[in-house]
Amino acid sequence: MGGYTGPNIVTDGLVFGYDIGAKRFNKSNPSPLLYDYNLWSVGDNASTAPWTEWIGAGCTRILATDPWGNDAVVWLSSTENENASRGGIYCSPISIDNTKKYRVAWWEKRVTNNSGTVGNYYLGCNGYGTVNGIGYMHTTGSSTNPYFFYCGYNDPILLTYDWFLIVAHIWPHDTLEGGTPGFSDEDSGIYDVTGASLDDIFYDFKFLPETTTFRPRTLAVYQGNVSGMEHHTVYPRFEVCDGNEPSLNELINNKTYQYSTSHTIDNVSRKKIGVNSELVFDGTVNSVIDLGNTQDLGNTFTVNVWVKANNFDSTYNPIIGRDGGVTGNFYIGFDDSANIKIIQYDGIVDSFQYGTYSVSTWYNISVTFDNKTSSIYVNGVKQGSSYVFTDNFIDTGNIKVGSYKPDAQYFDGEIPIVKIYSTLLTQSEITQNFESLRSRFGV
C-alpha cells in the first residue's frame, strides 16, 4: 500500500482527541452513504437512528484506531457481564430501488475472544415489502434470514485480530439466478488492509420484485459465552452502484473514509464550525471548538496536534489551550514572528518560543508538560531546550481549540487532529505519532 508501515498512533494514556480527517474522495459526484456512520459519537451506548443495536447490552461507540492507524469513532460490540450478546448492528430499514444494484462494505475486527468458545460473526440483510425476504442468486427462492457470510469464533479471519473488509452486493430483482454474472460480483469477498483476499463470501443476493425497503445487519459476537469478548466495526457502507461509488481499491487504500463535518462535535466526535462545512478556523470567535474540561491530566500530560496556519498576523495565533485567566492555564500557538510559543498564564504571561515556521505548511506539534517543565517537538524532533515555568499546570478549565481567551485572539488555518494524553509521551512515542500520519499530510 505504500507509506508508513510501522506502528499505529499511540493510544496508551489517550484521554481526549478528535480526528476529522482529510476529504479524499476523488469522484466528482460521489454516491451518498445511505447510512451515515458520521452520526456516531464517542460514548453513545444506545441506538442512534438509523443505527440500531441488536441486544444492546454490549454495544457502545469508542475512540479507537481505524485500519490505517487514524483516530476513528468505532462501534464496539462486546459480551457484557457474560450476557449472550448478539452485540451487533441492525440498521433501520430504508427505501431502495429494486431495479438497481447496491453494495455493502464494512470493516470488521475481532479484538479479543477472551478464551470464549462461542461468539460467531454474521453479515446479513433483510428485505421488506408486500412479500418479505431477499432472493437467492445461486438458486431459486428467497430467504427472510439471509447472510452473505458468517464464521465461527475460531475462524482464521477473526483470529488474526486485525481489520478485514467484507464486501457483498444486492442485485436488481430481475437478475437471473445462477446466470451471468453468476453468484457474486467479482469484488464481493473478504480482504485485509493490503488488499489480499482472505476468503470468498458465500454469495450475493438479489431483491424481490416486491422489495421496497432494506437493511444490512451484523451479529458481531453472537451468543458469546464469556464476558470480555470484543469486536470492532468501522466505516460501514451501504450505497447504490451507479458508477460514482468508490472502487474496491479506493476502499482498501483509505481514499474514501473521511469524517463528515456536517454534524456537531460532541467531545471527540465531529463539528460544524460556525457556518463552515469543513474544519477550517477562520480567525473569528465562531471558529472555536470547546472540548470541555478534560479530566485526569494532572500536572503531567502531552498535547499532540496536526496544524497548518494561513497567517501569523496576530500576537497570538492560538492552536489549543485551557480557558485563560486562571493561574496555571496553558496555551500553544504561533506568535507574530512565526515562532511556536508556549504560554502559562497566571495574571502575567510566562512564555517561551522556538523556531521560525511557515504558513500553508503542515506541522505535527507535540508539547509535553511535566509539572513546571515543558518541551516542544515538531515533526517528531525536539526543538531546543526544555523550559521551566513559574507554576505547575492546573487541571481545571475548558480546553479550547483555536482560541486564547485572555486576549480574545483566534486561529486562522486548519487543525484536523488533536490528541491529549494524561501521560508524558517519550521521544519514540512522539516520533511514532508523527510517522504514522505524515503520509496523510504529505510531510
Question: Which is higher by pLDDT, 265 or 152?
Answer: 152
DSSP for 299-315, please give it. Answer: TEEEEEEEEEES---SS
The C-alpha angle 430, 304, 72, rounded to 5 degrees, equals 100
Per the structure, the count of domains in the chain is 2
Record the pTM: 0.57
| Residue 53, pLDDT above cutoff 60 | yes
- Contact (Cβ atoms closer than 8 angstroms) between residue 318 and residue 424: no
Is pLDDT at 262 greater than 50 in this prediction?
A: no
- How far apart are alpha carbons 158 and 303 in whole angstroms? 34
Residue 258 lies in a domain: no
DSSP assignment letter at 230: E
What pLDDT, in 10s, does the model give residues 315-344? 878 898 876 555 557 889 998 889 898 887
Tell me: cis bond preceding 181? Omega within 30 of 0 counts: yes
- Which tens digit of pLDDT belongs to each residue from 56-100? 557 888 888 889 887 788 998 888 754 555 678 888 999 999 999
434 three-class SS: helix
Q: What are the residues whose beta carbons fall under 8 Å from the beta carbon of 210, sequence distance 6 or more?
A: 129, 130, 131
Q: Does position 261 have pLDDT exceeding 50, yes or no?
A: no
327: CATH: 2.60.120.200
Domain span at residue 87? 24-252
Residue 73 CA to residue 118 CA, distance in Å, equals 26
Residue 8 lies in a domain: no
Q: What is the pLDDT of residues 114-170, one digit of tens each?
A: 888 888 999 999 999 999 999 998 888 999 999 999 999 999 999 999 999 999 999
Pair 235, 301 in one domain: no
Asked if residue 7 belongs to a domain, the reply is no
Query: What does the alpha-carbon distance between residue 41 and residue 74 come to, in Å, rounded to a whole number?
Result: 9
- Categorize the per-residue pLDDT at 404 as very low, low, confident or very high, splitting at 50, 70 and 90: low
On whether both 212 and 72 belong to a single domain, the answer is yes
Per-residue pLDDT band at 3 (split at 50, 70, 90) = very low
Interatomic CA distance for residues 349 and 427, integer angstroms: 28
Q: Is residue 10 part of a domain?
A: no
CA 168, chain centre distance (Å): 22
Which pLDDT band, with edges at 50, 70 and 90, does 304 fall under?
Answer: very high
Flag whether pLDDT at 268 surpasses 70.
Answer: no
Alpha helices, DSSP H only, in 237-283?
248-252
Distance CA 120, CA 200 (A): 17
Q: Any idea what the CATH number is for the domain that residue 224 is in? A: 2.60.120.260
In a domain, 190, yes or no: yes
Give the pLDDT score at 295.
53
